[in-house]
Amino acid sequence: MSNDTATLALAKALIQEPSVTPDDFNCQNLMIDRLEAIGFTIERMPFGEGDDRVENFWATRGSSGKVLSFAGHTDVVPTGPHDAWSTPPFEPTIIDGYLHGRGAADMKGSLAAMVTACERFVANHPDHNGKIAFLITSDEEGPAHNGTVRVVETLQARDEFVDWCIVGEPSSTNAVGDTVKNGRRGSLGAILTVKGVQGHVAYPHLARNPIHDAVPALSVLAAEEWDQGNDFFPPTSFQISNINGGTGATNVIPGDVTIVCNFRFSTESSEESLKQRTLAILDAAKLDYEIQWNLSGLPFLTSAGDLVEAVVDSIQAVTGLDTELSTAGGTSDGRFIAPTGTQVIELGPCNATIHKVDEKICAADLDTLSAIYELILNKLLT
């Protein structure tokens, strides 16, 4: 007989499914079975074909009033070599009170806590106010083209909107609830190709070195103050992540060089302002160049409001912690939900081991997180 709590048992069941993005395997079925049993209506929303097919579902309970949605993903990042792990990554194992397995922290533990919180809440409040919803995808760790963004577009097209959304991303630092994300920076990527003239290094006057041409402009871009941030966001940052040029030979001046770079930007800057200022710097350097842009997400912020209040108060009541509101870190699927006017908070377990070998979470934290979720439901829907 297992002594596992309901939340730990469900987390283990989810971890056992090798759902490397974008494959869901059986994770969503496990969640759907539990949600249907407590009165949720399930709408499966697969998008894409063949290898691009992504499993999603939208589940609702209640017929009218404000909507509180839990959002998350069943897919996980690849494990890397299994022999690098202390235990097999898809065999959930408890070691010294920690649940080991790929997805334990990011974010199958959160999914389990969401489901069990709703099970207890519905048992105590079968006629609760408003609607509870789940927006679940298997395409968050991958391209994110056929996941949450497509579900949100579908809901918008039929005038369905979410008032409050809790995303189960691992937000905490040292203890569950010590940090929540009430926003995220935007992400604007670019692939810059600077063109030159290939030639022999012994005859530079017969060639044009695109690396030499590009370096002064890159130095200006790296030193630029794009904005000063604000009370919620650090200043916008520009980072070069990759430079590739040359034939591999030591005696050939390359014909072009490709630079991959990224802006993580605050609400003090916009996509257009960053593009315009970048082009002005490149043009001033008189470069022969091409640039391709990729906007991964706009910045969003949920500051004051009933969701923030409910989350902060619930964390304090369950854990005694005064939570920190943060916008640090990478992007999340919250970037697709917030632009619809939804208040979005990311609240999940500690993130110290996410995407690492031997990913793990304190097993007891799962029940703490579930209790916080349940109290938020009580505060907003009763």
Catalytic positions, written as ranges: 75, 140
- Cα→Cα distances 16→103, 198, 354, 369, Å: 10, 54, 17, 21
User: What residue type is 111 in one-letter code?
Assistant: L
Give the tokens for residue 163: 């008032």
Measured from the Cβ of residue 317, the count of other Cβ atoms closer than 10 Å reads: 12
Task: Please state, in angstroms and rounded to a whole number, the distance separating the CA atoms of residues 23 and 41.
Answer: 23
- Cα→Cα distances 13→26, 56, 91, 167, Å: 10, 19, 9, 21
Q: What's the chain's length in residues?
A: 382
Spatial neighbors of 37 by CB under 8 A, at least 6 apart, are: none
Q: b/e per residue, 195-216, with b = 16+ CB within 10 A? A: bbebbeeeeeeebbbbbebbee
